[in-house]
Structures are given as structure tokens and as C-alpha cells.
Amino acid sequence: MFPPCRLVITGASGFVGRSLVARANAAGHSLVALSRSEGSLPRGYEDEAALERACAGADAVLHLAARAHRGGTDADFECNVRATRAVAAAARAAGVRRVVLLSSIGVNGNVTRGRPFDETDAPAPVEPYARSKLRCEQELQSLLAGSATEWVLARPPLVYGPHAPGNFDRLVRAVARGLPLPVATVRNRRTLVGLDNLCDALLLCATHPGAARQLFLLADHEDVSTPDIVRCIARGLARPPRLWGAPPGLLKLAARAAGRPRVAESLCDSLQVDAAKARRVLGWVPAERTPDGLVRAAAAWRLA
């Protein structure tokens, strides 16, 4: 790790933000933790004056704050773009060396076929949230162009860890309730990223000289199938996995009929990520293997 820096973290009270604050403190960095919900930005992330004051003297800003894990239209996620504009403008005005944007693998797309996503793939976002993240990336690069403030883009896949929200939480709850899950015959491959692994990578994005003006896909080493994920969660919950087989095509048809086609897509299709660039450029080595991290995350849910 590189010498301690002064870091500004937006979205500090969120799932990733809380862990990033803890790991940054443990690494000896000095922090300004911003969270609208905890009152440090009472007028929100579009208050450029407050953001500029927070950024004064900072070496890097890690911009995590975003609306996510909700359905909606493109207009519903416009707040993500406005906040990124404000953060970029404030960082540039304050002379911050670098801004790291936490984006999403959804910018690449929802499904891989035959090979994993990497940094050379053209963007193909499907969901409104992912489209907003692509626009955030574009706005950040545009607003920092020609300035001394560097940008870094980080796209993780699904982030798992203790008390993770969204799809991971729903799956843990389903396994905990003993619901029979019809995915025993699914043969997909999905790449995830552990919360601690991701936070370590984000700190490297903020401090490593080689990260400047780069895009990184950040993911664990291993690919796992949906049945693998369920079995690991069940192990952490100390429950037997209740798996039964249904044809993936039938699952997708049923999900479409229920108006939730993305649920079947996330359970049945593959989404693989090649994070070799981050390992090569940043020297990042994910400390925890995916199966071990899934078990630990589920155990934390059980013991909470």
C-alpha cells in the first residue's frame, strides 16, 4: 500500500462506504466521510460549495454515493449524474489530485456469452441504473479533461459481504427460509467481488500512480455457478441447501410472465469478469476467495 493520504469518501454510510471507511482508517489514511443521511451534506450531493469545502486539501475523492437497487426510469437515476458532476467540479476547483468513481459492471452489459467482460468491451448498459453510471463516467472524464485532477473508473460486479443489500440479501433470505430453489440444473458462470476485496482495490485506485485515467473491472479470481452460490450461503447459514431442477428456459418464461425477467437472468445466465488489468497494473490480489467470502457473509447474516 502507498503512503497515507487525505481521502474524501462520498456515500460513507452505505454498504460499500462503511467498509471502505473502516479499511481506509486501518491503513492510516485521514478521512472526510460524507453522507447525506448522516447530515454532513444537508443540501445533498449537488451542493458544490459544500463539496468544495470538504475537498480542500484532499489527495483523492472516492465517489460512491448513488441511487441503486431500485427499479425506475432513466429520469429516476438522473440524480446520480448530477451528483457526479458536482463532485467532479468541486474536486477540480479544490485542486484534488484524483477522483475515483465507483461505477458498475452493468455498464458493460448484463450477460456474457463465451468470454468474460474486460476493459476493451464497448459499453452496452441495459438497465436505467447502469445507463446512469455510463453517463457518470462520461461526465467525470469530460469535466476533468485538461485539468490536473485525474479520474479513475471502477466497475465491480455484484458485491457480496455481511449485510449486503439487493439481490444477495434476497437470496440469503430465501435460503434462510428454506425455500426450494429451482436452480439445481443451472450451469452458468458468474464472477462476484467480495466487499473487503473491493475496498482494497478502491484504495489502490486512489493511491497507485498507475491508476491515473484508467478504467478497471474489479472482481474476484473465481467464477461460481448459481448452485455454488446457494450451497455456500446454506453452509454459512448452517442449513441444508434446498435445490431442485427446472429447465432454465422454463424459469425465464415464468419470470417474464411475472414481470421480473431480470431475476431469471441473474440466476440462469453467465456474467463473467476478467480483472487481469487491475491485478497487473495495481498489483491487486483479492485476499479472500469467493466461496470462503460467501460462507462468511451468510454466517454474519445468521449471527446478526
Look up residue 136 and give its three cell numbers. 457518470
Three-state SS string over 138-175 comes to HHHHHHHCCCCCEEEEEECCCEECCCCCHHHHHHHHHH
Look up residue 7 and give its three cell numbers. 481521502
Domain parsing of the chain, residue ranges = 6-159+195-219+273-286
Query: What's the confidence (pLDDT) of residue 161?
Result: 97
Greater pLDDT, 252 or 204 = 204
Q: For the domain bounded by 6-159+195-219+273-286, which CATH number is listed?
A: 3.40.50.720
Calculate the alpha carbon distances from 144 to 123, 154, 254, 297 in Å.
20, 16, 46, 37
pTM of the predicted model, to two decimals?
0.95
pLDDT 10s digits, 254-273: 778 777 778 888 889 999 99
| Distance from C-alpha of 292 to C-alpha of 233, rounded to nearest angstrom | 10
pLDDT 10s digits, 39-91: 667 678 888 899 999 999 999 999 999 998 666 788 889 999 999 999 999 99
| Distance from C-alpha of 240 to C-alpha of 243, rounded to nearest angstrom | 9
